[in-house]
Chains A and B, each alone.
Chain A
Amino acid sequence: MSGAASALFLLDIKGRVLIWRDYRGDVSAVQAERFFTKLIEKEGDPQSQDPVVYDNGVTYMFIQHNNVYLMMATRQNCNAASLLFFLHRVVDVFKHYFEELEEESLRDNFVVVYELLDEIMDFGYPQFTEATILTEYIKTDAYRMEVTQKPPMAVTNAVSWRSEGIVYKKNEVFLDVVESVNMLVNSNGQIIRSDVVGALKMRTYLSGMPECKLGLNDRVLLEAQGRTTKGKAIDLDDIKFHQCVRLARFENDRTISFIPPDGSFDLMTYRLSAQVKPLIWVEAQIERHSRSRIEMMVKSRSQFKERSTATNVEIEVPVPSDATNPNIRTSMGSASYAPEKDALVWKIKSFPGGKEYMMRAELTLPSIRSEDAPPERKAPIRVKFEIPYFTVSGIQVRYLKIIEKSGYQSLPWVRYITVAGEYELRM
């Protein structure tokens, strides 16, 4: 049941090896490169799109990031989930070190890359991928000292994500509750799919080893404590925590307690599958005048409370790819034709709740059409927006207690925001 990776390859976009680290000496770079180059050439073949491929005794698992492929090779029955996720973590580590992971940054930093590959995995077993801690003892030239005396305690500690002895003059915590709404509405106005993916994003600037406790209006917790919920409590479908959260404690009494990493991280994510009302409703009426002209009337309506306001609203209405001469008028915001997207893009800076705005557009179509033209693509209307100080789920941070043995005071700053995820309305 156990198994380890044989080697980790960093390849360029054509599948040539940039850097590789051999962990077990049972896979050859030449063979891997040859296979992978072939694989990339076969683009479009659905079989070759699998991220796990077997060839001649060796399994290759890979992900792509910018112009770099990260690939693991193994001859054993490895934990595929672990290794693929590990590759994503490797991307995070490299991004932390080089700001961006791409072919150039790998070349520019190959010495550090080798050092990191040696540290994050040993004999094909993932070891340590906390970028902030790694930077404490594997340093790029600019920060390098002659001899680092010892590995940070955190590498082997139970708290592997935070080093001791962090000091800030001002102890602050920022907590952003971000909910992203995914929505698919069909042409009859029926909601086909909707869900909300929420994340509690934290940025901590705290000294020492602070103990944090987070209280949410979680129905299970409040009911267990025998409090009246007054309709304010919420049910969270599936919660995932950052590794700093004590999971056993949460399982016991739903307390979210943790020692946070330094800097920014996602404390928790959750999913809400309850049906939500579309926050911004868009409908389009289209009239085609005898193949020469197309007239559109687009109505958008905000379906949330008046005290909230959506900002940076962007509505993308698809138009035929051969349309020209746009003539657009809007009752609010500005609209323009974006031929590269085959769409009209209507931007509204501020869109308060309970309002309705209009856009009218007229475009010219070529009068001649090919007989065997493929049927028109049915692109949906796409909407982007942000609604600050508002959450769909109604999640509330009741408290965030921070206790450190030095006893400093620190104030958490909490913000709520709802954004559009994959938000589409079909025409």
Chain B
Amino acid sequence: MSGHDSKYFSTTKKGEIPELKEELNSQYKDKRKDAVKKVIAAMTVGKDVSSLFTDVVNCMQTENLELKKLVYLYLINYAKSQPDLAILAVNTFVKTSRVGTNGVYLWQCQAWTIVAKLISVKTDGNGDIWEVVQIAIPIWVPSQDSQDPNPLIRALAVRTMGCIRVDKITEYLCDPLQRCLKDDDPYVRKTAAICVAKLYDINAELVEDRGFLDSLKDLISDNNPMVVANAVAALAEIQENSARPIFEITSATLSKLLTALNECTEWGQVFILDALSRYKAADAREAENIVERVTPRLQHANCAVVLSAVKMILLQMELITSTDVVRNLCKKMAPPLVTLLSAEPEIQYVALRNINLIVQKRPTILAHEIKVLLEFKEYATEVDVDFVRKAVRAIGRCAIKLERAAERCISVLLELIKIKVNYVVQEAIIVIKDIFRRYPNTYESIIATLCESLDTLDEPEAKASMIWIIGEYAERIDNADELLESFLESFPEEPPQVQLQLLTATVKLFLKKPTEGPQQMIQAVLNNATVETDNPDLRDRAYIYWRLLSIDPEAAKDVVLAEKPVITDDSNQLDPSLLDELLANIATLSSVYHKPPEAFVTRVKTVSQRTEEDDYPDGSEAGYAESPAHAAETGALPPSSSASRQPAPAQAPAAAPPVAAAPVPDLLGDLIGLDNSNSLVPVDQPTPAGPPLPVLLPASKGQGLQISAQLVRRDGQIFYSMLFENNSQSLLDGFMIQFNKNTFGLAAGGPLQQPVWYFNDKIPLHVFFAEDGRMERATFLETWKSLPDSNEVLKDLPGVVINSVEATLDKLAASNMFFIAKRKNANQEVLYLSAKIPRGIPFLIELTAALGVPGVKCAIKTPSPEMAPLFFEAIEHLLKS
């Protein structure tokens, strides 16, 4: 069934776009279809075919499902990244429809009827016609399609409309979606369920207002398992992005979902299992019941179903108290987990990362699955030295981690020592030392065997390990003194690691066998280690021993021969709370990375209600919105071919909602009375991410226009950040701003357009605090004295607490309030600070407070005491923030 679509990629002539345009407008169906294919082919290889928008969209009205799908694909691709393109395209469309081109004429007429209706209904005649047309085009056909008798087309329409991520469109999506959620055909319903999640992503409020959440919840009781599964997926996603409880799994939902689990597709089973893993069973009995319903999934051929079932079982196991049940469950989970390791390599990778977590929580689960030992042993006799070392170390780790395997591991290690391959023996001795410390008084009988290979040791770590063993078990080794003596001869030449071990081992030997031989040895060693070495570690340790031994040998025994704690292998061990979080995330990326989801999830809202900002990706944050074709020639909006055909009306591009902040800089008036350096500075970009601006003029009062604004100080300059949101259907432009007379004489010039919206904004004084407000101590005292007492104003700030002087000072310094001095008065801290506002007006500040007790007394002296209320407000704000 091979196709020949590659021929559509082949046209590369220069006049490709005009040629395509002509073909798209052909009167022959087949030619139009081929042309659309060519357009999609061009889009696929990254060419910008956005200029053909109108022509392609014209082909939307077709009975041919394949063609319709292609046009929809095109629409999704270009509508979302270039909503303004739609409007340009519409202009062309209007022109051509007036001319009445053959073929497409009929549906254009129909479209116009809709447009006319929209205009009258939606905007009461005040709206901008272009905007309505822009919406009409991509909406009209799909919403017609959503009533098509063919369920495939109905589903396709609702699926596509959800993908056109343009906020304006959402409202028109509601009615068709509402219908599709109640469609007779389950295929349409399951598509509509997902579409609710899409809509929520674009406009959450709308979804809640229109009651879609309830419709979605109803679908959980749908008689079709696939609809249930998709509804669960959609609800789970919506819940994830909402602070309110939206999707709560009750025991009734639980049983419905567990039933659906048996019937839906493998992917649906994964949705349901993942959603159910949030469910907290009431008691052990319920947990056991749930587990019983889920365990059969362990036999599923789809590894994702298996892992999600494992997750669910592990979570419910927390509640199960019966050890028998738990043991039984562990036994059931082990074989499927092992089988995952013979799956595709990528699955193996995910499985191994998860098994790593699971065995940390339930170490016994795979204990009887240790089959690698013989394989490790085999590797230990390979030729590659590094590989061999790793194999031996791995055997050692098995022994330390798994008590049941320890004995077998030891016998394997002994066999390896017997083959007398130098590096194998040395590596084995290193790991055996650890095994001794893990299982004290268990395997010491093998020491004799180890001692046989003493002469072959030449690596420091192996030597040091062997010497440690001799010292630690000196009382069991008859000739321990002889063995150590053989090392002592070369003491000065040994590396520090070995020297240190020799020193300690000799001390141990001496304490255990205080006879003449060891006595001589210890003297030689101590002498060597104190006088003839430059190594401070060695010297210090030797002196400590020396002193201990000479002052109180019994105390030395207590210290040197003290019982050692049993070691454990906790490398790779995760923090228990993190481990629990990761286990709740089995099979997900979180479990692969071993990181909590917050650490890497970068959910980006692609369309928010504030389309003003989001429709204009500025490259840095919103660059992801590029489409492949668009990306190839970024920013190449309407290519010349179409631009020449339609002299775009000047206002057309602006018909998209107005850009925030852009008009602000030019129109802001002077800040009268402030020196120039403090005047408002143009802001090129919309406010960077920060706390939302306070709303000054709500949309209800501004006929749809909402203004949020705040004065802020950044980088030594004052900004008036304003956010304009156009919630009305009509275009707003030509913004002017005027400041009423105020303390600072802020004002803006220029005539005002009607209508005028008035709003108030309190000016936070602290934005005016200048960087050069620091005073010398002497100046401060002088100024304080020179100002008359009438200039002192005092206020209690009862709601403010100072917990730490440092933190408070840092906070104030960040707003250009500078610390002068502090003193203590009884249990109260008194702080002196200074600040300066434009025109050189200083503020001398005295703060009195008891640490940690609410209530701060603030006294200021300033030449302009009329500023005091503003100042208090500012400082209260700063201290509270």
Residues of A participating in the B interface, judged by any CB pair closer than 8 Å: 1-4, 17-20, 22, 24-31, 50-52, 54, 57-59, 61-63, 74-82, 84-88, 97-99, 104-105, 107-112, 114-115, 118, 122-123, 125-129, 137, 140-144, 146-151, 155-158, 160, 184, 186, 190, 192-193, 197, 237-243, 245-248, 250-251, 266, 268-269, 271, 273, 375-376, 378, 426
B299 touches A240 (CB 8 A): yes
Interchain CB contact (< 8 A) of A160 among B3, B226, B587, B623: B226
Which of A4, A25, A52, A143 is most buried by chain B, counting CB atoms within 10 A of its CB? Answer: A25
User: Which B residues lie within 8 Å of A58 (CB)?
Assistant: 602
Assess A237 versus B631: contact at CB under 8 Å? Given A80-B588, A248-B262: no
What is the distance, in angstroms, from A200's C-beta to the closest C-beta of chain B? 12
User: Which B residues lie within 8 Å of A98 (CB)?
Assistant: 1-3
Task: Decide yes or no whether B37 CB sits under 8 A from chain A.
Answer: yes
What is the distance, in angstroms, from B75's C-beta to the closest C-beta of chain A? 13
A2 touches B601 (CB 8 A): no
In the complex, the chain B residue whose C-beta lies closest to that of A84 is B346
Alpha-carbon distance between A67 and B379 when the two chains are bound, in angstroms: 34
- Helix, strand, loop or mixed for chain A's interface? mixed
A151 touches B69 (CB 8 A): no
What is the distance, in angstroms, from A236's C-beta to the closest C-beta of chain B? 10
User: Which B residues lie within 8 Å of A104 (CB)?
Assistant: 6
Alpha-carbon distance between A179 and B384 when the two chains are bound, in angstroms: 34
User: Which A residues lie within 8 Å of B73 (CB)?
Assistant: 114, 118
Which of under 10, 10 to 19, 20 to 34, or 35 or more describes the interface residues of B?
Answer: 35 or more
A-B contact pairs, 28 of them (CB 8 A): A22-B76, A22-B77, A24-B201, A24-B606, A25-B625, A29-B626, A30-B631, A51-B346, A58-B602, A75-B602, A77-B585, A79-B304, A80-B588, A80-B591, A84-B347, A99-B2, A104-B6, A105-B2, A108-B3, A123-B194, A127-B190, A127-B230, A127-B267, A150-B185, A156-B187, A241-B301, A243-B265, A376-B383
B301 touches A63 (CB 8 A): no
A57 touches B187 (CB 8 A): no
Task: Tell me which residues from 38 to 64 in chain B have a Cβ below 8 Å from any Cβ of chain A.
Answer: 40-41, 44, 46, 63-64
Chain B 805-842, CB-CB to A under 8 Å as 1, else 0, gives: 00000000000000000000000000000000000000
Assess A80 versus B69: contact at CB under 8 Å? Given A151-B152, A156-B190, A158-B263: no
User: Which B residues lie within 8 Å of A186 (CB)?
Assistant: 378
Alpha-carbon distance between A242 and B305 when the two chains are bound, in angstroms: 12
Task: Decide yes or no whether B198 CB sits under 8 A from chain A.
Answer: yes
Alpha-carbon distance between A248 and B1 when the two chains are bound, in angstroms: 38
In the complex, the chain A residue whose C-beta lies closest to that of B335 is A238
In the complex, the chain A residue whose C-beta lies closest to that of B292 is A251
User: Which B residues lie within 8 Å of A247 (CB)?
Assistant: 262, 296-297, 299-300
Chain B 333-367, CB-CB to A under 8 Å as 1, else 0, gives: 00110110010111101110010000000000000
In the complex, the chain A residue whose C-beta lies closest to that of B345 is A51
What is the distance, in angstroms, from B196's C-beta to the closest C-beta of chain A? 10
Task: Decide yes or no whether B313 CB sits under 8 A from chain A.
Answer: no
Chain B 137-169, CB-CB to A under 8 Å as 1, else 0, gives: 000000000000011100100010010010000
B9 touches A107 (CB 8 A): yes
Alpha-carbon distance between A57 and B623 when the two chains are bound, in angstroms: 13
Alpha-carbon distance between A123 and B626 when the two chains are bound, in angstroms: 18
B624 touches A17 (CB 8 A): no
Assess A140 versus B3: contact at CB under 8 Å? Given A85-B304, A111-B37, A151-B155: yes
A25 touches B80 (CB 8 A): yes
A77 touches B589 (CB 8 A): yes
What is the distance, in angstroms, from B347's C-beta to the closest C-beta of chain A? 6
A81 touches B299 (CB 8 A): no
Assess A80 versus B301: contact at CB under 8 Å? Given A114-B73, A122-B191: no
B3 touches A111 (CB 8 A): yes
A250 touches B601 (CB 8 A): no
A111 touches B267 (CB 8 A): no
B383 touches A375 (CB 8 A): yes
User: Which A residues lie within 8 Å of B76 (CB)?
Assistant: 22
Task: Tell me which residues from 597 to 634 in chain B have a Cβ below 8 Å from any Cβ of chain A.
Answer: 597, 600-604, 606-607, 623-628, 631
Task: Decide yes or no whether B374 CB sits under 8 A from chain A.
Answer: yes
B265 touches A108 (CB 8 A): no
B301 touches A242 (CB 8 A): yes
Chain B 293-313, CB-CB to A under 8 Å as 1, else 0, gives: 101110111111001100000
User: Which A residues lie within 8 Å of B41 (CB)?
Assistant: 110
What is the distance, in angstroms, from A163's C-beta to the closest C-beta of chain B? 14
What is the distance, in angstroms, from B272's C-beta to the closest C-beta of chain A? 11
